[in-house]
Amino acid sequence: MNRTHFRISEMIFCLTLCALPFAFFLWLRRSVKGRLPLPPGPKGYPFIGNMLDMPTVTPWKVFQEWCKVYGDVIYLDLPGRPTIVLGSVKVAVELLEKRSSIYSDRAVFVTDKLLSWDFNFAFMPYSQTWRNHRRAFHQYFNQGEVHKYHPIQVRECRAFLQRMLDSPENIAQHVRQIYTAIILKIVYDMEVTGMNCEYVLLAQEAMMALNIARVTEASWVEYLPILKHIPSWVPGARFKKLADRFRPVVETMRDKPFNQIKRDVANGKGSSSVSGKLLKRLQDRFGETELNQEQEEIARNVAGIAYAAAADTTTSAAQSFFVAMSLYPDVQRKAQAELDRVVGPDRLPDFNHLDELVYIQAVALETMRWAVVTPLANPHRLLRDDEFNGFFIPKGTTVLPNAWAMLHDPDEYPDPDEFKPERFIKDEQLDPNVRSPLSIAFGFGRRICPGRHLSGSSLFLTIASVLHTLSIQPALGQDGKTIDPSTMMSTGIISSPKCVPCIVNPRSANAEHLIRHWNSTASE
C-alpha cells in the first residue's frame, strides 16, 4: 500500500472512531429516554439505525408505503437526526399547526451552509432572524400586495405565448423564462433577454445544486457532520466537490442583481422594485453612505430567495400542467369551452376573468395536487420533547410532512393518480367541502410559504392564457407514432417532470393574431 492510500485509510479509520461513540450515545439515549415508546418504524441496524434504509428515488412514495404498515407517524432512527414522517393531513395539522409553537423550527442541513444556501430564510431556525426576514418578505408579497404585480404578470405571460408560437419545441425553457422574468422584474426591475439570459441560468443552476445535495451521497454528512472537514479529494467526499462547484453560482445569484440595484439607488436613480424599495427605506433611515449591515443583509436575502424560489417552484407546476394536458385531452376541451364562453374569441384572459373561470381554477388546483412541487415540504424540527397518541417524540426530531402522500390520499381525493379538476367543483362553483391542495402544497403552520399568493396567481394566468390560445398534444417520435407522455418526476427538494413531450399549436388563426397583435402593440 503506497503512502497516499495509507493516509486515506488512516483518515477514514479515525473518522469512524470519532463517529462511533457519538452514535452509541445517541442509541443509548434513544433506548432509555422517556417512559413512552417512540413511534413505530422500520427496524434499523445497531449504531447506524435506518441510514441504509433511506430512499434516494421518490422517497415520498416509499414513506407512503411505510405509513401503510406503521401508521401515520413513523419514526426513523438516523444518527444525530431522529426523524418522524407524517403521512396524513390530520396528524400534520395536529402537530404543525395546533402545536406550531414547538414545531416551527427548521432542520439545519450541513450542505445548505456548504453551498451558501443558508441565506434562504425558509431554511433558517425559528428565531428573531427568521421573523425579521419573513416580515420583510411578507410586506411585499402578502395577499393584499400581489395585485400590484398583475400588469407584469400579464405582460410576461403574453410574451411567453408569442415565444411558444415562434419556437414551440422549447416548452420547458419558455416556461422557466416566464417565471424568472416575472420575479426579476418584480424584485430587481430587470428584464430577461432570452432563454440563455444569465439570470435564468443562475437560478436554474443554484436550485439544481440544492436538489442534488439533498438526495445524493451528500446526505451522509448530515448524519456525521464531522465529515464536512475532510478534503474534497477524499473518496466519498462528493458533497465537498459539489459545494466547490456550485457555491460561487449560489452567491452570484444572490448578490449580482442586488448589487446592481444597490448601485442604482446610491446614484439616485431609484427603483420601483422590491429590492429598490427595501434599499431606499434603509437609505432614508441610516443615510446614504452607511447602510445598516444587518438590515441590508435581510434585504439581500429576501430578494435572493424570492428570485430563486419563485422561478423554480412555479416552473415545475407549469411544466406538469403541460404534461397533464397532453395526457387528458377531455380536460383540455372542457377548459377551452369555458374560456370561449367567458372570455370570447376577441380577447386574451386576464385577472378580471378569475371569478368566472371556475373550471380553470380547478385545473390549477388539480395541477398542484397531481404533481406536487415539494413532495416532502420543508422539514420542521421539534423544539422540545413532546407526546402524541401515546408515543414519545424527542426534542430535536426532524419532522417530514409527506405532502405527496396527503395529496394522493384516496380518502380525500378518490382516484388520486387521475387528473380530475371536477373533484373540486359542485353546482358550478368550487366545492368548499373538498380540501384545497393549497392548504398542503405550500406547507403548514407558521412556516407556510409566504410566496404562495404570487405563485398561485401566476400559474392561474398561465393556464388560462395557454388554453385559450394554444392546443396541446402529445409529441411524435421519429417513427411518427405518438410518444406516451411520461409522468416521471425528478427527485429533490423540488420535483419537476423529467421531460415535457408535447406539441403546441395555435388553436386558430384568430388566436395567433391576438397574441402577435398584443405583443407588437406592447412593444411600440
How confident is the model over 377-423, as pLDDT tens digits? 889 999 999 999 999 999 999 999 999 999 999 999 999 999 999 99
Q: How far apart are CA 345 and CA 482, in angstroms?
A: 30
> In CATH, what number is assigned to the domain containing residue 309?
1.10.630.10
Report whether pLDDT(207) > 70.
yes
Residue 194 lies in a domain: yes
Phi, psi of 350 (to 5 degrees): -145, -170
Residue 131 lies in a domain: yes
Confidence of residue 225 (pLDDT cuts 50, 70, 90): confident
- For 134-156, give one letter per residue: b (16+ CB within 10 A) or e: bebbeebbeeeebeebeebbbbb
Query: What's the pLDDT tens digit per position in 131-165?
Result: 999 999 999 999 999 999 999 999 999 999 999 99
Residue 51 lies in a domain: yes
Give the per-residue pLDDT at 237: 66
Report whether pLDDT(54) > 90.
no
Give the per-residue pLDDT at 138: 94
Percent of the chain with pLDDT over 70: 88
DSSP state of 95: I
Q: Which domain holds residue 444?
A: 33-522
Give the per-residue pLDDT at 108: 85
Residue 406 lies in a domain: yes
Amino acid at 479: D
Which has the minimum average pLDDT: 22-26, 196-200, 323-327, 426-430? Answer: 22-26
Q: What three-state secondary structure class fits 49? A: strand
The pairing of strands 105-106 and 380-381 is antiparallel
Report whether pLDDT(243) > 90.
no
Report whether pLDDT(9) > 70.
no
Confidence of residue 219 (pLDDT cuts 50, 70, 90): low
Give the per-residue pLDDT at 477: 74
More confident residue, 85 or 220: 85
Which has the minimum average pLDDT: 12-16, 91-95, 303-307, 481-485? Answer: 12-16
Give the per-residue pLDDT at 56: 80
Task: Specify the number of domains making up the chain.
Answer: 1
Report whether pLDDT(480) > 50.
yes
Which has the minimum average pLDDT: 27-31, 423-427, 460-464? Answer: 27-31
Give the per-residue pLDDT at 17: 42
What DSSP line would sit under 298-327, residue for residue? HHHHHHHHHHHHHHHHHHHHHHHHHHHHHH
Report whether pLDDT(470) > 60.
yes
- For 168-187, give one letter per residue: b (16+ CB within 10 A) or e: beebbbbbbbbbbbbbbbbb
Report whether pLDDT(10) > 50.
no
Give the per-residue pLDDT at 88: 96
Report whether pLDDT(291) > 90.
no
Residue 19 lies in a domain: no
Report whether pLDDT(451) > 70.
yes
Mean of the per-residue pLDDT values for the chain? 87
Percent of the chain with pLDDT over 90: 61
Average pLDDT over residues 42-50: 88
Residue 93 lies in a domain: yes
Report whether pLDDT(218) > 80.
no
Find out whether 67 and 402 touch, Cβ atoms under 8 Å: yes
Residue 244 lies in a domain: yes
Give the per-residue pLDDT at 422: 97
Residue 220 lies in a domain: yes
